[in-house]
Amino acid sequence: MNGVRVKRGERARRVRGLGRWSRAGELNWLAAIVSDSQDAIVSKSLDGTILSWNPGAERLYGFSAKDAIGRHIAIIVPEDRQDEIETILDRIRRGDKIEAHETVRRRKDGELVLVSVTVSPICVPDGGVVAASVIARDVTRRFEIERALAESEQHRRSILAGMLRAEEEERSRIATALHDDTVQVMTASLLAMDRAALVARRHGDTRVEDALAYARATLEEATERTRRLMFELRPAVLHEHGLAAALRLLADQTAREVGATARVEDHAGRYDTVTEELLYRSAQEALANVRRHAGADTITIELNRRPGWLEVAIEDDGRGFDVVDVRNRPDAAFHFGLETLVERVRVAGGHAHVASNPGSGTRVSFALPVTDEPAASPESTSRPTEARAPRRS
């Protein structure tokens, strides 16, 4: 073994010497610890008279030890918190320890400071309480940082809300234009084709009639898709009845298109418009992915309220995919719509997770932070809703 070798007897003598030193210098040793502490450490009698005052207390409260010792602890307590003094002293007399708690104290110059305070009884060997020790730490800076973070979060949410409003206004404008112009033209074209087909039938021109029938079917499908796009752009049910109702309608629509069973489980209530719109748009993206790629027989949507979070999870039993491969190939990520969904949620301060394996289906979950309790709503119920449609050939 490297280092200095010490014989067993010498080691024993050193330990005994350390013990004698500790007993002889214990008070000085403890005093040095108190003196060097960055926290304010104060002792006071059971009537509140200050008995000791370390340099940390001088820095925190502005009173020198000479100014403070012998005076009542009330010199550092604001007028509106004077009742704290007797409450704490009563508990100390009973031998209770006051665990760390935040309160306000007053400096010599009158400035108020936020502190975390712990108060403990000082006992003599027979167990009697003779005084109290107070350890205080300035937490003003931490409070300021937390407040700044909260303000920053509020500002970020405000910006996000503005972006969402602008996005929804543009979606609404496009949906209105589609309804008032494009769909009307398509409907008129369908009627014109019906008239033309009737003329062809009267003249016995089956070739023209068949061609018109094929063109009409194509235009009819395009009209239906345009109407669906209008709903996706401006889902009135989301604003009128909430996220759960909108997800049920979206799930029912997806089920009809792919011939799957859709199940929606709602364990949450109504929330603010920004949160509901963000989660709806994310769910819309995930279900579009199911519609295009999954080939699923069953689709399950869960809406859950967890402490501090509102979560949506969309699961299917389709063909699945290799998540790592998709994320490592930008073209594939864009193709599956993962990046858009994940980034939308992350920008809003939330988190998203995609789990999938080839042949084992896919689960996409995403959550946003919420602070308010859900509002009462007739749409908020744990009753699942199912939709079933025949699979298209």
**Residues sharing a CB contact under 8 Å with residue 284, sequence separation 6 or more, in sequence order:** 232, 250
**Residues sharing a CB contact under 8 Å with residue 201, sequence separation 6 or more, in sequence order:** 209
CATH number of 256's domain: 3.30.565.10
Distance of alpha carbon 264 from alpha carbon 303, whole angstroms: 8
| Range 293-309 burial, b when 16+ CB lie within 10 A, else e | bbbbeebbbbbebeeee
Do residues 200 and 57 both lie within one domain?
Answer: no
| 69 part of a folded domain | yes
| 158 part of a folded domain | no
| Ranges of H-type helices in 122-205 | 140-177, 183-202
Q: Output the pTM of the full model.
A: 0.48
Secondary structure class of 120 (helix, strand, coil) = strand
Do residues 2 and 109 both lie within one domain?
Answer: no
- In the chain, the number of structural domains is 4
| 15 part of a folded domain | yes
Distance from the Cα of residue 271 to its chain's centroid: 14
Query: For residue 128, what are its two tokens?
Result: 């009697």
Q: List beta partners, residue 354.
A: 364
Whether the per-residue pLDDT at 10 is higher than 80: the answer is no
Do residues 243 and 369 both lie within one domain?
Answer: yes
**Residues sharing a CB contact under 8 Å with residue 247, sequence separation 6 or more, in sequence order:** 264, 266, 280, 283, 301, 303, 312
Q: Do residues 274 and 157 make contact, with C-beta atoms less than 8 angstroms apart? A: yes
| 366 part of a folded domain | yes
Distance of alpha carbon 52 from alpha carbon 60, whole angstroms: 15
Do residues 46 and 129 both lie within one domain?
Answer: yes
Q: Do residues 310 and 368 make contact, with C-beta atoms less than 8 angstroms apart? A: yes
- What is the DSSP code string of 14-66? HHHHHHHHHHHHHHHHHHHHHHH-SSEEEEEETTSBEEEE-HHHHHHH---HH
**Residues sharing a CB contact under 8 Å with residue 333, sequence separation 6 or more, in sequence order:** 326, 327, 339
Do residues 336 and 382 both lie within one domain?
Answer: yes
Which amino acid type is present at position 326? V
Do residues 229 and 261 both lie within one domain?
Answer: no
Whole domain around residue 302: which residue ranges? 237-393
| 159 part of a folded domain | no
Do residues 255 and 382 both lie within one domain?
Answer: yes
pLDDT value of residue 62: 93
Do residues 245 and 200 both lie within one domain?
Answer: no
C-alpha dihedral (260, 261, 264, 265), degrees to nearest 10: -140
Do residues 299 and 393 both lie within one domain?
Answer: yes
Do residues 389 and 245 both lie within one domain?
Answer: yes
**Rounded percentage of the chain residues whose pLDDT exceeds 70:** 79
Q: At what angle do helices 273-289 and 140-177 cross, to 10 degrees?
A: 60
- HSE on the CB side for 209, CA within 13 Å? 10
pLDDT value of residue 381: 38
pLDDT value of residue 386: 44
Of residues 219 and 232, the one with the higher pLDDT is 219
Q: Do residues 63 and 108 make contact, with C-beta atoms less than 8 angstroms apart? A: yes
pLDDT tens sequence across 98-113 = 999 999 999 999 999 9
Do residues 304 and 245 both lie within one domain?
Answer: yes
Q: Whose structure tokens read 């049910």? A: 237
pLDDT value of residue 103: 92
| 259 part of a folded domain | yes
Distance of alpha carbon 82 from alpha carbon 89, whole angstroms: 12
pLDDT tens sequence across 248-273 = 888 888 888 888 888 888 887 777 77
pLDDT tens sequence across 37-51 = 888 999 999 999 999
* Stretch 140-167: mean pLDDT: 78
Distance of alpha carbon 131 from alpha carbon 33, whole angstroms: 19
pLDDT tens sequence across 304-329 = 888 888 899 998 888 888 877 776 66
Q: β-pairing, 261-267 with 385-388?
A: antiparallel
| 242 part of a folded domain | yes
Domain final position from 199, 234, 269 = 234
Q: Do residues 246 and 280 make contact, with C-beta atoms less than 8 angstroms apart? A: yes
Do residues 353 and 273 both lie within one domain?
Answer: yes
| 229 part of a folded domain | yes
